[in-house]
Homo-oligomer: A and B are copies of this chain.
Amino acid sequence: MTRVGDMDAEEFRREAHRIVDWIADYLAHPEKFRVLSSARPGDIRDALPASAPEHGEPFDRVFADFERTIVPGLTHWNHPGFFAYFATSASGPGILAETLAAGLNVQAMLWRTSPAATELEDVTLGWLARLIGLPPAFGGVIYDTASISTLHALACARTVSVPHIRSRGLSGTRGLRVYFSEDAHSSVEKAIVLLGIGLDGACRIPVDARRAMRVEALERAIEEDLSAGRTPAAVVATAGTTSTTAVDPVAPIADVCRRHDLWLHVDAAYAGAAAMLPECRQWFDGMERADSIVINPHKWLFTPFDLSVLFCRRMDVLHETFSLVPEYLRTPESPRVRNLMDTGIQLGRRFRALKLWMILRYFGADGIRARLAEHMRLARLFASWVDADQDFERLADVPFSVVCFRCAPARVPEQALDALNEQLLDRVNASGEVFLSHTKLDGKLALRLAVCQIRTTESHVAQAWELLSREAAIVLSSASPERP
């Protein structure tokens, strides 16, 4: 027996076996839970004591409370009926890898604090870069979220644009400008705020009918800013926007960036994985000319949350922007080795590469491609049902695995459609069988069905469609399409 302050080793073993059985049962039948929790605000808080226990409790009692109090308050992201936002997936090999990472608890701030974590990150990102067709000029770093990856990208753009940024900050500057389409993700604006540029420096470029950035409008905006003495710094092109998965024309945007010497960041957080498929490669034409690219394996590469990848062509700028080494973090190996803390705002780093490596090996490149292709097939299938139904209307193209649509029978006036669709959305989500989210497109409320869950099959998509049709009939047959 080796009890030295921690849980007893045999108790750990017993409880760990119990827990993985629970997870195995859960993953075998996630649909036995409601996908969207029916908890009301305060339910979970009210069920828990206001203070920590003074004395420790046996783990089985803690686990019993977990099952009784916490589980009913969960929204189940692993449910095959999860179609909201970008559905994510904790695949089996990903969960196994996360379990190992939790047990090992290595913290890879320095090469020395776990050589394998640092080098496996290099190797695995090299694999991913190759799979999506990036040239060897790109380096990469794993962060937690796309918000953080994009923050790092725009920080690099700021470094390139503002002399002495590190010492003098932004105080002497004026009119730094970042360009992105009106459909770009909110994380771009959050980064602009955090970096001290301010939203006055955020330049939203209009989109065309396919919701892609208008390149001529971008060019015009840059020229106007230059005439006015402002300082264009970066363009964010999105390959797969959050609302509709529209794709900005990356190659022409790259031409504009080259002409004006601007940092090009490509937000492919969701759709970037699809660059692994030859039939999708066209959407990413020009991405290889970007300065930085974000892709989130925790979105559509079956990787448990969190793992976001920033590919960067100018690792020297990333290093220059973020490296700051106090004495207590110097090691004998530097500078022969890469220390991950030198390229990020976060000092500490989990061993995230392990899950991506295990997933790529377990599924293989062809296995990943087959799963992505299947999700796209299911989305197109759902879109075909929408298109064939007179009471429904599709509101955007389906380049990947997300369908934007609404219920819009000819007999219901346009001004009543938002309320009707909101009611429809509330009703299908209240079923506990599916979870969809929404967006607004040209002022119209659109329902979104995102097929990215690894456990989602054709039968789940069909079930979602049946539920939508049934609930739409009920809503339409009621006296008024207003909320009850």
Contact = CB atoms under 8 A, between A and B. Distances in A.
Interface string A127-144: 110110000000000001
Given A5-B454, A52-B364, 18 more contacts: A6-B89, A13-B24, A41-B115, A51-B130, A56-B364, A57-B362, A57-B364, A62-B358, A69-B116, A75-B106, A89-B105, A144-B346, A169-B193, A171-B171, A195-B196, A298-B348, A305-B348, A328-B437
B91 A6 contact: yes
Interface string A180-211: 00000111011111111111110000000000
B332 A148 contact: no
Contact of A6 (B7, B337, B455): B455
A475 to B, nearest CB: 16
Number of copies: 2
Contact of A367 (B13, B56, B172): B56
A37 interface: yes
A364 B155 contact: no
Nearest to A42: B119
Contacts of A43: 115, 119
A169 B169 CA distance: 11
A362 B115 contact: no
Interface in A97-131: 98-100, 102-107, 111-117, 119-120, 122-123, 126-128, 130-131
A471 interface: no
Interface centre among A45, A145, A171 (most CB of B within 10 A): A171
A469 interface: no
A41 B362 CA distance: 27
B130 A52 contact: yes
Given A43-B115, A48-B123, A144-B144, A16 B305 contact: no
B99 A168 contact: no
A96 B324 contact: no
A280 interface: no
A62 B93 contact: yes
A41 B117 contact: no
Given A88-B107, A114-B73, A364 B186 contact: no
A5 B328 contact: no
B196 A55 contact: no
Interface centre among A48, A197, A455 (most CB of B within 10 A): A48
A17 to B, nearest CB: 6
29 contacts: A2-B29, A4-B455, A6-B89, A6-B302, A8-B92, A9-B24, A13-B21, A15-B96, A39-B116, A48-B120, A51-B130, A52-B361, A52-B364, A53-B360, A56-B361, A59-B92, A66-B354, A75-B113, A102-B102, A146-B348, A169-B170, A169-B176, A169-B193, A170-B170, A170-B196, A170-B198, A171-B173, A171-B198, A190-B345
A477 to B, nearest CB: 23
Interface stretch (A77-85, A311-319, A386-394): A77-85
A175 to B, nearest CB: 7
A462 interface: no
A95 interface: yes
A371 to B, nearest CB: 6
A55 B364 contact: yes
A465 interface: no
Contacts of A59: 92-93, 96, 358, 362
Nearest to A144: B144
Interface in A316-340: 321-322, 324-329, 332-333, 336-337
Contacts of A363: 56
B200 A242 contact: no
A161 B403 CA distance: 45
A151 interface: yes
Contacts of A361: 52-53, 56-57, 61-62, 65
